[in-house]
C-alpha cells in the first residue's frame, strides 16, 4: 500500500512539473518583436532577463534581424508587432507598412559614423566647412569616391548629412549596398573608398585602423532610434502596447539609476548570447557611452500632441524631408511628408510614472 502511495505521489509531482510551466505560459500574451544588434535591443533583452515581461503578463520574443530594412520586409509576413529601428526605416515603415513610432530607443548621434582608411586623402583635410571643425574631407577629395553601407539605415543618413556639410549629395559619389556585418570586412579588403557604419561595428572599424571623418554629432544632428508598432495591432491592443513600453522603460529606469560600467558584463553577454558576437570590453565601453537614453517623463513630453504636432513628429518629419530631397521617396510619398502621422502619443502616455502595471 505504501509503495502505491509513493508511486502516486511521484506521478503527481511529474504531472505538476510538466504542466505548470505550460499553464503559466498559457496565461502570458505572446508578443513577437524585431530588433537589430544595437544598444536599445540590449535594454529589452535585459528586461527579458529580469523577467519583467512576465510580471506584466507578456512573453516578449526578441527576434534578430540584420537591419531596419529587413525588419520592414518581415512586417508584411506578420512576423512582429513591435520593433526597434533607426529613423530612416521608421519613416519608410510609416509610409509603406502602416508602422507608427511610439517611443524613442536611444539617441545614437555619436554612434553612427563615416570612416575611411588612414591613408585616404579624405582623412588629410579637417574643417573644410568652418561650421563643422571636426569634420574631415573636402569636395575634391570625396567627389567620385565609392562608399559601402547598408541602404535605408541610420548609416546612410550620416553619410548623406556628411556629404551635405561638404556641399555634396549622394549623386556625387557611388554607394554600394551591403549588409552591416560585411561592411568592416569590405574596408579591410579595400572594397570602396570608405564606409558608413553604426555601432558597435563603427568601433570595430576604428580599432582596425580606420579614421572617423564624421559622425552625426560632429555634423550638429541628433539621431534617435525608435520603438515602433504595427499600427493596427497597437490600436486593437492598447493595454498590451502600454505593457510592452512599460517593460522597456523599466530597463531604461534601471540603467539610468546606475553607472553604465555596471552593465558592461551583461552587455557583453547580450552580444555573445543573443547576437552571436564576442566584442572586447573596451569596445563595448565606448559603445555604451555613445548611446544616450531618455527617461519616460522626457519622452512623454517629446511625444505629446496636446498642442498639435509633437516634437518627435517634427523631428521625424525633418529627416523625412531631407531623405526625400535625396530622391529616396517617390513623388507621392514626398508630397505626404508633412501629412504622414509618423508618431503617436497614444501609448506612451498610458505608461504609469511608477512603471508598475498589473497583469
At 92 the pLDDT is 94
At 23 the pLDDT is 42
| Domains 29-107+225-350 and 110-215 in one fold | yes
- Give the N- to C-terminal CA distance of the chain in Å, as an integer: 44
- Only one residue has cell 527579458, namely 48
At 358 the pLDDT is 58
At 2 the pLDDT is 43
CA atoms within 13 A on the CB side of 152: 16
Q: Are strands 146-149 and 194-198 parallel, antiparallel or unpaired?
A: parallel
- The per-residue pLDDT for range 126-156, each reduced to its tens digit, is 999 999 999 999 999 999 999 999 888 889 9
What are the extents of the domains in the chain? 29-107+225-350, 110-215
Between CA 286 and CA 271 the distance in angstroms is 15
At 330 the pLDDT is 87
- The per-residue pLDDT for range 85-98, each reduced to its tens digit, is 999 999 999 999 99
Q: How many CB atoms lie within 10 A of CB 309?
A: 13
What would be the CATH architecture of the domain defined by 29-107+225-350?
3-Layer(aba) Sandwich (3.40)
Q: Please say whether the structural domain 110-215 has been given the CATH code 3.40.50.720.
A: no
Q: Which residues of the chain have pLDDT under 70?
A: 1-26, 357-359
- What does residue 212 show for φ and ψ, rounded to 5 degrees? -75, 120
Amino acid at each position: 500500500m505504501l509503495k502505491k502511495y509513493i508511486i502516486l505521489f511521484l506521478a503527481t509531482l511529474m504531472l505538476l512539473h510538466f504542466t505548470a510551466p505550460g499553464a503559466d505560459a498559457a496565461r502570458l500574451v505572446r508578443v513577437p518583436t524585431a530588433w537589430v544588434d544595437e544598444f536599445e535591443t540590449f535594454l529589452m533583452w535585459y528586461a527579458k532577463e529580469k523577467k519583467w515581461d512576465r510580471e506584466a503578463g507578456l512573453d516578449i520574443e526578441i527576434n534578430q534581424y540584420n537591419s531596419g530594412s529587413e525588419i520592414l520586409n518581415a512586417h508584411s509576413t506578420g512576423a512582429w508587432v513591435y520593433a526597434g529601428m533607426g529613423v530612416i526605416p521608421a519613416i519608410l515603415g510609416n509610409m509603406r507598412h502602416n508602422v507608427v513610432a511610439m517611443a524613442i530607443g536611444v539617441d545614437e548621434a555619436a554612434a553612427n559614423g563615416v570612416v575611411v582608411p588612414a591613408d585616404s586623402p579624405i582623412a588629410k583635410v579637417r574643417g573644410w566647412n568652418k561650421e563643422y571643425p571636426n569634420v574631415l574631407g573636402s569636395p575634391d577629395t570625396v567627389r567620385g569616391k565609392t562608399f559601402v553601407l547598408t541602404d535605408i539605415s541610420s548609416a546612410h543618413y550620416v553619410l548623406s548629412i556628411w556629404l551635405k556639410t561638404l556641399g555634396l549629395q549622394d549623386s556625387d559619389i557611388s554607394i554600394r549596398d551591403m549588409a552591416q556585418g560585411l561592411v568592416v570586412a569590405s574596408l579591410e579588403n579595400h572594397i570602396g573608398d570608405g564606409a558608413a557604419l553604426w555601432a558597435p561595428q563603427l568601433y570595430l572599424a576604428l580599432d582596425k585602423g580606420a579614421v572617423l571623418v564624421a559622425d552625426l554629432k560632429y555634423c550638429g544632428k541628433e539621431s534617435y532610434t525608435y520603438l515602433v508598432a504595427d499600427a493596427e495591432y497597437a490600436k486593437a491592443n492598447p493595454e498590451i502596447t502600454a505593457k510592452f513600453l512599460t517593460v522597456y522603460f523599466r530597463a531604461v529606469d534601471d540603467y539610468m539609476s546606475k553607472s553604465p560600467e555596471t552593465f558592461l558584463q551583461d552587455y557583453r553577454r547580450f552580444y555573445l548570447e543573443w547576437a552571436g558576437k564576442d566584442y572586447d570590453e573596451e569596445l563595448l565601453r565606448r559603445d555604451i557611452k555613445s548611446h544616450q537614453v531618455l527617461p519616460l517623463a522626457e519622452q512623454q513630453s517629446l511625444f505629446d500632441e496636446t498642442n498639435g504636432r509633437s516634437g518627435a513628429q517634427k523631428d521625424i518629419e525633418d529627416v523625412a524631408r531631407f531623405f526625400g530631397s535625396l530622391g529616396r521617396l517617390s513623388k507621392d510619398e514626398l508630397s505626404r511628408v508633412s501629412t504622414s502621422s509618423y508618431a503617436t502619443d497614444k501609448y506612451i502616455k498610458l505608461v504609469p510614472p511608477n512603471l508598475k502595471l498589473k497583469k
